[in-house]
Chains A and B, each alone.
Chain A
Amino acid sequence: MIEWLHPGLIFILGALLIPVLKGNWKKIYLLLLPIAALIDLLYMSEGVFWSIPLLEYELVFGRVDQLSLVFGYIFVIVAFCATLYALHVKEDGQHISAFLYVGSALGIVFAGDLFTLYLFWEVMAFSSLFLIWYRKTKASSEAGFRYIMVHIFGGICLLAGIILHMQNTGSIAFNPFSWGTGWGYLSSYFIFVGFIINAAVPPLHAWLSDAYPEATVTGAVFLTAFTTKSAIYVLIRGFPGVELLIWLGAIMAVYGVIFAVLENDIRRLLAYSIIGQGGYMVAGVGIGIGMAINGSTAHALSCILYTALLFMGAGAVLEMTGRSKFTELGGMYKYMPLTFGLYMIGAFSISGFPLFSGFVSKTMVVEAAAHLPIVWLLLEGAAIGTFLVTCLKLPYLTWFGRKKSVVEAREPPKNMLAAMGVTAFLCVFIGVYPQALYKMLPYAVDYAPYTASHVIGMSQLLLFTFLAFWMLKGMLRGERTITLDTDWFYRIAGKKFIWFCEKPLLNFADSIDKTLLRIADSFVWFSKNPAVASRIMVLTASMVLLKPFNPGYMRYEQDLEELRRLYPGEVHRVAIGTGVLLVIMFFTLYLFMYLTYGVLWA
C-alpha cells in the first residue's frame, strides 16, 4: 500500500486515459477523477511526503498541513463542478489541458520546496493556455499569445528569485521569505513579482481581463479558479504580513470595480470583478494577523465557487446566443430564467448578501482591516461596486433592460445547468452554515458573521446602493467601446517601439551607410587619376566661385564637361606623374601637420 498519493497526479496521469475512452464511459470517467482526488484528500494525514533528494537539495512534493488541505479541497471540488459544466465538450484536448491545469495547481498547493513549485508553476501556465486557444478565434489566439508571454515573464522572475534565494540561503525550502528594503532582499522581490503577476495585482493584472473573456466557454470556468487563487496561496505561504500587500490589495479591489463599470463585455466585466475580489485576499495577506489570513483563505474558497458560478452563467448566455456584449443582449429572461436564477445566487454571494457565501468571508477581511481607516473605506467601496456591477448592472442589461429580447435562445444543456446547480448549492451552504468553512481554516476562528450589526449594516449598504443604481441606471447602459488598461503598454507601446526600430532607426542606419559608401566611392574615383581629378575639382570650385564675376565662364564649363567625359583619360600616360603628384601631396600634408603641430592641434 502506498503511504501517500499526490492528488495532482490523479489528474495529470488520469488525463492520459481520456482519448482512449468513448461516449458515456468517458463522461463517467471525467467525473470520477475529481471524486477520486477528493477521497484521496479526505483520507490524507498531515505531514511531509514524497521528499526526493536531488543533488544536495530535497524536493518535497507533499507538504500537507491545514492550509494546503483547505486549498486542495476547494480545488478538487471546483474541478468537479467545472468538469460537469464541460461534460458536453467533444474535444479531448480541452479536457486534457483542463486536467493538467488542475493537477499542476494541486502540485503548487502541496509543493514544499521552490523547485517543485516552479515546475508546477510553468506547467500551469502552459496547460491553461490551451483553454484559451481552443476557442479558435483570431482574438483568442492573440490574447493567448499575450497571456503566455506575461506568464513566461512571471516565471522567469520567479526562477531568478529562486536561484538568488538559493545562493543567499543555501536552501530551497518554501517558507516565508525575508522582507525589507535594500539589495539584500533582491531574491524576495523577484519571487514577489512572480507571485503577484499570477495574483493579477495591478499594474500586472491585464493578462487576466485580456485573456479570460477570450477563452472557451467551459475553459474560462476552470481559469477563474486556479491561477489567481494558487497565487493567493503562495502569497500566504511566502509573504504574510508584508505591508505593501495591504495597499496593493485595497487599490486592486477598487481598480477592478471601476473597470467593471466601464465594461461592455459580460465575461470581461466578471474578469474585472475577479481582480476586485482578489484585492480582498491580497490585502488580507498583507495584514497578516491570524484573522486576516483566515479571511483571505475563506474568501479565496468562497470566491472560487461564486466566480465559477458567475462565469458559468455568463458562459451559458454566450454559448446559447453567441453574444457577450451588453449592446447586443437584453431581455433574455424570457428564454433563460433558470440560468438567471442560478447566476443571481452567484451574484448575491459575490456581493456578500447575508445567507450567501461572500457574506461570511468578505466581512472577515474587512473586519481585520478595522485599524486601517483608508483601507477599510476602499474595501467597503469595492463591496458597493461589486454589488453594483455583478448583481445589478450585468443581470439588468442581460436578462432585462429591453422590452423585447434582441435574440432568441433557450436554456443551456442539462449538464451545464446541473453544474451551476451544484455550485449554487455550495455557495448557499457556506453562507448558511459557515462553520463548515471556518473549521477548515488554518487558524482558530473567533468570528461570528451573523451579528445584528453586521447583518443590518450590510443590508443598509446593499439596499441604498440599489437605490442609487435605480436612479442612475441610464448611465450604466452598455457602450460600444473597449477600455484601455495596462496591456496598452505591450500592445501599443510595443507596436510603436517596433515601428521606431523599423522606420527612424533603420533610416538613420541607412543614411550612415550611404554616406560612408559615397565617401569611399569618391576616393576610388579620385585615385583613378588624381591629376585630372584634382583639375576637375579646381575647375568646379572656380566655376562656382567666379561665376558672378566672370561673364565668360562658359569656356570653363565646356572644358569641365570635356574632362568629365574623358575621365579618367589615358591613365597609362600619366602614371609616373600621378605617382609624383601623390608623393608631393603626402609630403605637403605632412609638412602642414608638422608646422601646425602645437598651434592648431595638440
Chain B
Amino acid sequence: MGIEKKYLVCMLYVCLAVTVLAGVLVNFHEHAHAAFLWQAIPGFSAICGFIGCILIIVVSKALGHHWLQRGEDYYD
C-alpha cells in the first residue's frame, strides 16, 4: 500500500510538471490568444486552480462557521 501511494503521489507531481511545461510551450506559440493580461502569464490556470481552490474552501467554511451553518434541528 505504501509503495502504491508513493507511486501515485509521484505520478501526480509528474502530471503537474508536465502540464505546466506544456502550458509554457503553448504560450510561446499562441501568444495572441490571450484575452486578458493575466492569460499571458505562463501557468496562469495552474495558479488560478490552486489559489482558487484554497480560497473557495477557506471562504466558504468561514462563512459557514460564522454565519450560515446551524444545527440539523434548526427548522423544527
Contacts and interface: CB of A to CB of B under 8 A. Distances in A.
Given A384-B52, A476-B57, A453 B16 contact: no
Contacts of B48: 380, 384, 461, 464
A289 interface: no
A457 B68 contact: no
Nearest to B9: A470
A459 interface: yes
B61 A388 contact: no
Given A376-B36, A461-B46, A468 B26 contact: no
Interface residues of A, number: 44
Contacts of B59: 258
A385 B56 contact: yes
A482 B49 contact: no
Main secondary structure on B side of the interface with A: helix
B49 A468 contact: yes
Interface in A433-483: 451-453, 456-469, 471-472, 475-476, 479-483
Nearest to B13: A467
Interface string B16-45: 100110110011011001011000000111
A572 interface: no
B73 to A, nearest CB: 9
B70 A464 contact: no
A461 B56 contact: no
B74 interface: yes
Contacts of A259: 60
B30 A452 contact: yes
Given A460-B23, A465-B53, A472-B54, A482 B75 contact: yes
Given A370-B35, A482-B72, A482-B75, A457 B56 contact: no
Contacts of B52: 380-381, 384-385, 465
Interface in A378-437: 380-381, 384-385, 388
A269 B56 CA distance: 15
Nearest to B18: A459
Interface of B: 12, 15-16, 19-20, 22-23, 26-27, 29-30, 33, 35-36, 43-61, 63-64, 67-72, 74-75
> Closest 7 A-B residue pairs measured CB to CB?
A468-B53, A464-B49, A370-B35, A460-B45, A261-B60, A460-B46, A481-B69
Interface of A: 257-259, 261-262, 370-371, 373, 376, 380-381, 384-385, 388, 451-453, 456-469, 471-472, 475-476, 479-485, 491-492
